[in-house]
Amino acid sequence: MQPFAAAWPKAELHLHLEGSLVPATLLEISRRHGCPHGLDSLAACQALYQYQNFAGFLQAFKLVSQHLLDPEDYALALRGLALELKRQNVIYAEITLSIGVLHWKKQEVAPVLEALEAERQTHQNLRLAWIFDAVRQFGAEVAEDVLSDALYWRERAPVVAIGIGGDETRGPAAWFEALYARAAVAGLHLTAHAGENAGADSVWQALRFLHPERIGHGLRAMEDPDLIQYLAVHGAGNQTESPIWLEICPTSNVRTQCLARLADHPLPRFWQAGLALTLASDDPAMFETDLNREFSQAAALGLLPEDCRQLARNGFLAAFLPEPDRAAYLRHFDAVSLQSSGK
């Protein structure tokens, strides 16, 4: 990554707290609880983050989540992530919390959120917001509980959106149509993972049933020229009132083997087609990446420095921020990024 780009103030919008847990911290948490799942060495924790496909990644994510047994575990995870974000010069992040997993583990949400909020408030010069995630394959009933949590906690914490992640092939978007409609009426923003491990039709279904403002990944849109055209028409470059953003995560897509190699990534094609794109690290510890490295990947795929600057700027354009705050962030970004590029 070029030094001037690493110095840009950045926003990260597709970032899972559980997937940010580095092996050393995972080991610390495991030992605190007596190594209930056998992760008793750094090598074992590192080996957990090596998998051959998307299913293997989901199993690893599940096991990491099973180690987060009390509120302090979650606070420790956030502490490490916040320090890492500040190192990368990220000044705003929307962190996805797997609230659906909390319900699956039968953990109380309130103590976890209270611990996370206490930790969040200790980090100056880093603004954090929460996206509550309902896991697709857990079904609509659990997702209803997640929506209820989001509506309750948004009065007490910066909960900005609801989303669905997990396995698209086992949790079709249609299951969540009514839930998303209620969330929208209630004023929550809407995100959805789609087109990651399932085809372009999964993206169409998300658009048809959920009406998301942002789509996590959207990778498989590359299979359908009509979908690319639709997303381009609804891209930010066409001055669309409510553009549909794709959160692009190149390293993630290769590490989960949703793509065989980085060179196959459609990021340049999407960019040239005029799609509204942001860049993110997804599960940075589990993929051995960070946001700065993702900009290096974008450059390796052929995006020019000015393209990368606009891609970074898009992070603030796509963020779920009040307009005055967005404008202030954009002014700050423009001043710093233009100065660092010598303009």
What distance lies between CA 15 and its chain's CA centroid? Answer: 3
Q: Is residue 196 among the annotated active site residues?
A: yes
CA distances from 278 to 86, 232, 262, 307 (A): 19, 14, 17, 11
Residue 315 CA to residue 318 CA, distance in Å, equals: 5
- SS3 readout for 250-297: HHHHHHCCCCCCHHHCCHHHHHHHCCEEEECCECHHHHCCCHHHHHHH
Q: Which of 12, 168, 196, 294 is catalytic?
A: 196
**Using CA atoms, how far apart are residues 268 and 254, in angstroms rounded to an integer?**
16
What is the rounded CA–CA span in Å between residue 278 and residue 248?
6
Scored b (16 or more CB within 10 A) or e, 185-223 reads eeebbbbbbbbbbbebbbbbbbbebbebbbbbbbbbbbe
Cα angle 92, 94, 95 (rounded to 5 degrees) comes to: 125
In this structure, is the dihedral angle defined by the CA atoms of residues 290, 296, 302 and 307, taken in order, positive or negative? positive
Amino acid at 19: G
Alpha-carbon gap, residue 75 to 70, rounded angstroms: 9
Which residues are designated catalytic? 196
